[in-house]
Structures are given as structure tokens and as C-alpha cells.
Amino acid sequence: MAHTETKPVFEKLTLIGIGLIGSSLARVARKNNLASHISISSRSESTLVRAEELALGDSYYQDAADAVVDADCVIACVPVGASETIARNIGSSLKSGAIVSDVGSVKRAVIDQMQPHLPTNIHFIPAHPVAGTEKSGPDAGFDSLFENRWCILTPLENTNVDALNKLSTFWQGCGSNMEQMEPDHHDLVLAITSHLPHLIAYNIVGTANDLETVTSSEVLKYSAGGFRDFTRLAASDPTMWRDVCLYNKDALLEMLSRFSEDLSALQRAIRWGKGDQLFDLFTHTRGIRRAIIDAGQEVDAADFGRQNVGQTTEISKDE
């Protein structure tokens, strides 16, 4: 959805971290005129230089505290575990009334890390765009990443309504559909819809790699049988997913134990030849995919919309 107002939502937007998510935000903010000035900060000189080469912003700083001066909105787009350092660094440089947000895949841990270091005269509104790919870095972003994807805000008690509306307007301008959730509930929902699937993918790709009776060339050769669909998730950024596991520990462990129980039941059904049980489950799960397609969160093309081998098609946006 394009931002229909002629006036930008923010005078100055600061993006701290300019990888997949940060650079996608920079691109769509520029395209849809969501900010008059975009300042960018990244800790490494090489990433910052690349962001400048790509003309992602208007000003560039290695120190996040310099980038946030006079910003109306600051969005931290860094791995969850880096949130505290960022908040500690920018706290005293923020403009009174500024909106401070993030894009982290875990919400409670980000709140616990950032809130103590932020002044009380700003509006801290955590956010999570449920959109992404397995790629990282400033080159990986694209301006349609958030199109028709959910962005979940997890406002704290007594959050200023005007600030909340402004941040929602910004994300809607990026193409997102908006939702609000309580932070712990967010972490539970995402544990099953995103974090557990990634963990399963990391695990299955690791297991296939460790098999001694099947060679790795056979695994690669016959990967179209299903394996390759897991490899895309398992190629996701190691730092990001390490932090998701460490910082959403309780919800993830809860979902893992449910998953293990269900897997054991499946193992029993196979051992005892319970065909009806298997058939019923597989019929039910096919219906879930249909519902995801109907909800506009996946394409209906066969084989996940792949056109042919060797051609990368950006069809599946997940997180």
C-alpha cells in the first residue's frame, strides 16, 4: 500500500542496523516518501560504506548516538541480543517526544533490554514485521518486503495513542497489515509459527549432513524430494537465529516439547501401521496450507512457485 499523504510521516527517521530489514525499510521509506531525512547507523565501516553506495539514506554514522540526534523515529534493526547496547548508547541523545522502536523477532527480551536505558520523555513502542528471507546485509533488502505482511506492535501499558497511531501509519505506508499483541503472547505465537520451524529445518539439514549411509552428493542430487525446502530456512542468518533461541528460550522449549510428543505419536503410528491416523493428519495439514494461501500469505503455484531449478524466485517471504 502506498503512503497516500503528500507529507512524510516523519521528518527524520533513524535506522540503526542496515541489513535485510533495515535496508528494506530504508528502500520503502524512500520510495513511499515516509521520511524527509533518513539517517543510517551500522557498527561496521564496511556495511556503512555499502549502505552509502546503495544510496539507502541521507546521512551515515558509525556511532548510533550521533545518528539519532533530532530524529522523530528511531528503529533498531539489529539482532535481538544487541538491543541493550543500542539502547544504552542512544538513551541520552534522543529528542524529547521521539518514537523508539525495533524489529526484533522476540519482544519480551527486547523490552527488558531496552526499556531501562531509555528516557521517560520518549515513546518506546516495540514492533515485529513478520516478513523476511534467508538473506542478510544491505544488499539483501527490497522495497516490497513488507507488502501484505503483518507487522505486530507490542505496546507497553500507557503508550501514547498519537505515537502508536503514527508508528502504525508508518508501517502501513510500508505495505504492512497491523496487529497488536501483548509481548509474551507474541513470543508464544512466533515460537510455533516461526522459531520452531526454523529450528526443525536447522536440525533436519544437520541430520542429513551427518548421515553415514547416505552420501552428501546423494543428499544434494535428490534434494527436490523435499529436503531443499528445509535448506532455505536453514540458510537463515546464524546470529539472528542464535539470539532468537537464546532470548525466546521458554516459549521455544515449550513448543519443542509439544513437537517431540507429537513426533513420538507419529513414530508409533508408523511402527504399528496406523494408516488411517497418518492419512487423517496429512489431510488436515493439507487444509492448513490451503488456508494460508487463502489468507494471501503464500502463492498457490505448484512446488512453492518455483519456476525452474537454478532460478531464484523471491516467492516466499517469511521470518
Residues that bind ligand NAP (CB under 6 A): 17-22, 42-44, 47, 77-80, 82, 85, 103-105, 129, 132-133, 136-137, 237, 240, 319
Which lies closer to ligand NAP via its Cβ, residue 21 or residue 174?
21
CB 132 to ligand NAP: min, Å: 2
CB 175 to ligand NAP: min, Å: 14
Three-state secondary-structure class, residue 99: strand
Element (H, E) at 59: strand 59-61
CB 60 to ligand NAP: min, Å: 11
Instruction: Please give the Cα distance from 122 to 95 (Å, whole number).
Output: 7
Q: What is the DSSP letter of 115?
A: G
Instruction: Please give the Cα distance from 68 to 243 (Å, whole number).
Output: 25
Which lies closer to ligand NAP via its Cβ, residue 50 or residue 274?
50
| AA identity, residue 53 | E
- Find how far residue 128's CA is from the centre of its chain: 7
Which lies closer to ligand NAP via its Cβ, residue 133 or residue 172?
133
Contact status, residue 247 vs residue 113, Cβ threshold 8 Å: no
Q: Which of 10, 61, 24 shows the shortest CA–CA distance to 175?
A: 24
Which lies closer to ligand NAP via its Cβ, residue 44 or residue 96?
44
CB 298 to ligand NAP: min, Å: 16
Supply 294's cell numbers: 487463502
CB 23 to ligand NAP: min, Å: 7
The DSSP bridge partners found for residue 100 are 74, 124
Which lies closer to ligand NAP via its Cβ, residue 15 or residue 205?
15
Contact status, residue 31 vs residue 175, Cβ threshold 8 Å: no
CB 209 to ligand NAP: min, Å: 23
The DSSP bridge partners found for residue 151 are 129, 178
CB 319 to ligand NAP: min, Å: 4
CB 20 to ligand NAP: min, Å: 4
Half-sphere exposure of 91 (CA within 13 A, CB side): 14
Element (H, E) at 170: helix 161-173
Which lies closer to ligand NAP via its Cβ, residue 132 or residue 155?
132
Which lies closer to ligand NAP via its Cβ, residue 32 or residue 133?
133
Which lies closer to ligand NAP via its Cβ, residue 32 or residue 101?
101
Three-state secondary-structure class, residue 156: coil
Which lies closer to ligand NAP via its Cβ, residue 242 or residue 290?
242
Task: Give burial (CB, 10 Å; 0-12/13-18/19+) of 224.
Answer: exposed
Contact status, residue 21 vs residue 132, Cβ threshold 8 Å: yes
Supply 12's cell numbers: 527524520
Instruction: Please give the Cα distance from 7 to 26 (Å, whole number).
Output: 17
CB 89 to ligand NAP: min, Å: 9
